[in-house]
């Protein structure tokens, strides 16, 4: 039986397909394959160069989007740093998270560092539908220009699905899927009416392939990716921008289960460096990994067949689980 390659070769040459046409098809495929896999790095380079070639695009966030930014999951990690970075750019900040004492602390910190106003709303996104009326009521009279859907829930450590409690699984679904959906829906009508606005949805590199031992978490991030890309198309005619941010590993509390991740490296930046870079792409890039080394990682991962990426992620998460158990015995 002849190989698939031989069959294709016979069809091409027996049909007298011109070689230049084959070369054009190959070049076209290579260009888009490279762009799709290394899109984030290309977009970061574009972000750096845009102010030099399009000075009018270098407006401040307040001028482009409005006075207030809402950040969910705002008291730790990437959410807290987004709050600080946007305040640095002159935006007033609405902090939304679960623990009121932490919200008060972060609000005071931001107001002491920057000449901006803050407001906070204490809600637990794990509670699902019941919290959104409170958010609507608290923010109904405010001009919201930027929404950062950052809040997320991970496993405590990588593990088999049947070892994860039902309570935690519902929290992951309510927080990772419910919050990004309902928070966007709350503010879209206002942004459409104002003909301006920015929605930033924080995904994860785990969206890149099926991820054993983080099955539900990784699947929820696939939802965020597809939700964001579809929503961007819906809103572009209303001058409302939607950005997908897909970080790889960052030194945050969410990754405490792994001693190797928390050591940090050029591939695992600290949260301040990561977020500063991610906020730099705001308004300049519609889809980004947020950090140059993350863009390279993501692109290189996509060059590998999905079944291999799945096997590698399985082995990696087994290692992380072992690290977690080792910490418990100390």
Judged by DSSP in three states, 64 sits in helix
> What are φ and ψ of residue 152, in 5° steps?
-155, 160
Buried b (16+ CB within 10 A) or exposed e, 145-176: bbbbbbbbbbbebbbeeeebeeebbebbbbbb
Catalytic residue among 82, 114, 120, 217: 217
Judged by DSSP in three states, 93 sits in strand
Element (H, E) at 141: none
- Residue carrying the six token digits 């990426």: 309
Residues 222/225/231/233 CA torsion (nearest 10 deg): -120
What sign does the dihedral 238-149-251-221 (CA atoms) show? negative
How many residues are there in the chain? 330
Angle of helix 292-302 relative to helix 19-37, nearest 10 degrees, comes to: 130
Judged by DSSP in three states, 245 sits in strand
Candidates 209, 207, 190, 211; CA nearest to 199 is: 190
Neighbours of 18 (CB within 10 A): 8
**With contact defined as beta carbons under 8 Å apart, do 91 and 68 qualify?**
yes
**With contact defined as beta carbons under 8 Å apart, do 218 and 210 qualify?**
yes
Candidates 149, 145, 141; CA nearest to 62 is: 145
Residue 261: both structure tokens together: 């991740």
* Active-site annotation holds for 217: yes
Which residues does the annotation mark as catalytic?
217
């Amino acid at each position: 039986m002849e190989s698939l390659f031989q069959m294709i070769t016979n069809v091409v040459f027996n049909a007298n397909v011109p070689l230049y046409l084959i070369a054009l098809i190959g070049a076209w495929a290579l260009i888009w394959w490279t762009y799709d896999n290394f899109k984030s790095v290309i977009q970061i380079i574009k972000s750096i160069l845009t102010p030099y070639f399009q000075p009018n695009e270098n407006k401040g966030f307040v001028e482009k989007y409005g006075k207030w930014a809402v950040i969910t999951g705002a008291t730790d990690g990437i959410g807290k740093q987004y709050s600080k970075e946007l305040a640095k750019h002159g935006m007033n900040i609405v902090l939304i998270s679960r623990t009121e004492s932490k919200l008060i602390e972060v609000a005071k910190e931001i107001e002491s560092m920057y000449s901006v106003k803050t407001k906070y709303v204490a809600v637990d996104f794990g509670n699902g539908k019941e919290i959104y009326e409170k958010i609507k009521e608290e923010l109904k009279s405010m001009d919201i220009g930027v929404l950062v859907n950052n809040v997320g829930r991970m496993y405590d450590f990588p593990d088999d699905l049947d070892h994860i409690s039902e309570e935690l699984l519902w929290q992951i679904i309510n927080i990772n899927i419910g919050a990004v959906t309902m928070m966007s829906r709350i503010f879209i009508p206002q942004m459409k009416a104002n003909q301006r606005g920015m929605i930033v949805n924080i995904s994860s590199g785990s969206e890149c392939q099926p991820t054993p031992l983080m099955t539900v978490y990784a699947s929820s991030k696939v939802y965020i990716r597809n939700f964001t890309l579809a929503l961007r198309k819906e809103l572009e005619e209303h001058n409302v921008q939607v950005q997908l941010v897909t970080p790889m590993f960052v030194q945050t509390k969410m990754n405490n289960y792994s001693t190797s991740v928390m050591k940090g490296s050029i591939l695992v930046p600290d949260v301040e460096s990561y977020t500063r870079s991610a906020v730099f792409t705001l308004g300049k890039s519609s889809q980004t990994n947020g950090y140059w080394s993350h863009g390279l990682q993501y692109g290189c991962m996509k060059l590998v067949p999905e079944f291999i990426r799945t096997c590698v992620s399985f082995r990696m998460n087994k290692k992380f689980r072992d690290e977690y158990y080792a910490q418990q015995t100390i």
